[in-house]
Amino acid sequence: MKSGYIVKTAILGLIMSAAVSSQSVFAADGEKLYTEKLCMTCHGTEGKEPIMPLYPKVNGQSKEYTAAQIKMIKDGTRAGGLTAAMKAMVATLTDEEIEAISEYLSAIE
Ligand code: HEC
């Protein structure tokens, strides 16, 4: 059936364009990642309201400092203290995601 083929092709096209666009948004959107990767559950809204006084605020630092801390906690260079709470949360982040989240946090006053 020709019409069935056209419908299937159209649906496939929609799925593919949705996948491509959501991927590019995902790669660049630090704000979305901050929520999706559950950072906010400990560091609070916009990194400003940590859930306990012993947890750091993470907004307003330079992007370079923030990205470096996340990478060092991820690879174990920065260990001890309360890093255990954080390490598992950043284990699966890519460098690109770390950069995007750090850029987002650094821009929040
Ligand atoms: C389970 C709670 C928890 C989650 C979830 C969490 N963190 Fe953390 N994070 C911490 C704690 C606790 C520390 C302080 C570690 C220490 O004592 O050295 C920390 C430290 C940091 C630091 C270093 C701050 C500084 O001033 O040195 C940054 C940046 C950071 N977290 C970002 C993130 C990001 C981004 C995410 C999400 C991908 C995230 N955290 C998820 C608990 C968490």
Pick the CATH number of 30-106 from 2.50.20.10, 1.10.760.10, 3.30.70.520, 3.40.50.720: 1.10.760.10
Predicted local distance difference test score (pLDDT) of residue 26: 46
11 compared with 35, residue with greater pLDDT: 35
- Single pTM value for the model: 0.82
Look at ligand 1, atom 29, and give the residue with the nearest C-alpha: 66
What 3-state class would DSSP assign to 55?
coil
Look at ligand 1, atom 19, and give the residue with the nearest C-alpha: 86
Q: What is the pLDDT of residues 60-75, one digit of tens each?
A: 999 999 999 999 999 9
Q: What's the mean pLDDT when you consider all of the chain?
A: 86
Q: How far is the CA of 90 from the centre of ligand 1 (A)?
A: 9
- 35 Cβ below 6 A of ligand 1: no
Helix (H) or strand (E) holding 81: none
- The residue extents of the domains of the chain are 30-106
